[in-house]
Amino acid sequence: GQGVDEPLSATGFRQADAAGLFLSNVKFTHVFSSDLLRAKQTAAAILGKNKFCKDLEVKYDARLRERKYGVAEGKPLAELKAMAKKAGEQCPSFTPSGGETLDEVRERARDFFEFLCQLAVGLEQKEPGMPGASSRSSGTSAEQFVFPWTNHCGEAEPSSENAGSSRMLDANILVVSHGAYMRNWIGYLVSDLSCALPANLSKSQLSSVSPNTGVSHFVVKLENGNLSKPEITCVCLNQDSHL
C-alpha cells in the first residue's frame, strides 16, 4: 500500500540491480517513478546500471503510487483476504475501509497515461519532422533503443518500420511503479484502449500481478498527435528472465 513506506529489502536491491543490468543498453528519454521509497530505490538502481542514462533526472509522481489499502496496510495478505471473505467479497475487487476502489486506481492510471501521451505529442510538435531529435539522442535508432526481449524482429519493434524519420522514437519512457497499480493500468490499456496483446498471452497472465521488477513493454503510436485514439501494442508483459 501507500501508508507503509518501507525501503527495499536486500532481496529487493538484488532484484533492482538485476533489472538494471537487463535494461542497461536501453536509452531512455524520460524516467518517472512512484514517490514511495521502494520505487525510488528501484529507479535509482536501474539508472545506476544504465550505459546511457545514469544522469537522467527521475520525476516522482504520486499518481504512480501503489493502491491505497486503508486499514489493511502493513498487515499480511492473509488478513486482507480474511477481511474480504467476511464482507462476502473476493480480492482484488474488495476495498478495505479507507482504501481505494479499483475504479479510483484506474482513474489515476488513466490520468497519468494521458499525461505521458501529451508529453510525447509535445516533443513531436516542438521538433516537427525530427523524431528522436539530436537534443534527446544521438546515433542510429539501433544504438539507442536496444530492447533485450524483442530480438529486433517482433512486429512491435519500433525500429522495424519504414526507413527514415519513423525509425526513431519521440520518447522512450521508463515508468517504475507497483504491482496492484500496474495490473489496473494494464487492465485500462486492454479494456478501455484495446491494446494489442502478444498471441501467446493467457488470461491468467494478463490478470496476474507482476513479479518484483517485472518488465512490461508497450509501444504507443499517436497518429498526427491524436490523443483520443492511441494505438497501443504490448510487446511483453511481466518479463522476469533477469531474475
pLDDT at 150: 61
Place of cell 540491480: 17
Q: Report how many domains make up the chain.
A: 1
Give domain status of residue 151, yes or no: no
- Average pLDDT of span 208-229: 92
Q: How many CB atoms lie within 10 A of CB 82?
A: 13
Q: Tell me which residue range forms the domain holding 221.
A: 10-67+101-124+170-239
- Three-state DSSP at 32 gives strand
Closest by CA position to 217, among listed 197, 199, 191: 197
In the predicted structure, residue 162 carries a pLDDT above the cut 50: no
Question: Which residues are documented as binding site for substrate?
Answer: 38, 66-69
How high is the mean pLDDT of the chain?
A: 86
Give domain status of residue 185, yes or no: yes
Q: Judge contact between 112 and 61, C-beta under 8 A.
A: yes
Give domain status of residue 135, yes or no: no
- Average pLDDT of span 13-19: 98
Residue 170's pLDDT band, with cuts at 50, 70 and 90, is: confident
In the predicted structure, residue 242 carries a pLDDT above the cut 90: yes
Give domain status of residue 210, yes or no: yes
pLDDT at 29: 94
What nine digits make up the cell of 107?
482513474
pLDDT at 145: 61
pLDDT at 52: 92
Give domain status of residue 74, yes or no: no
Higher pLDDT, 140 or 109: 109
Residue 138's pLDDT band, with cuts at 50, 70 and 90, is: very low
Output the pTM of the full model: 0.86
CA distance 234 to 243: 21
pLDDT at 168: 59
In the predicted structure, residue 139 carries a pLDDT above the cut 60: no
Give domain status of residue 190, yes or no: yes
Give domain status of residue 228, yes or no: yes
CA distance 41 to 30: 17
Give domain status of residue 25, yes or no: yes
Can you give the CATH number for the domain in which 211 is found? 3.40.50.1240
pLDDT at 225: 80
**Mean pLDDT lowest among 115-129, 149-163, 204-218:** 149-163
pLDDT tens-digit profile of 25-69?
999 999 999 999 999 999 999 999 999 998 999 999 999 999 999
Question: Which residues are documented as binding site?
Answer: 38, 66-69
CA distance 204 to 217: 18
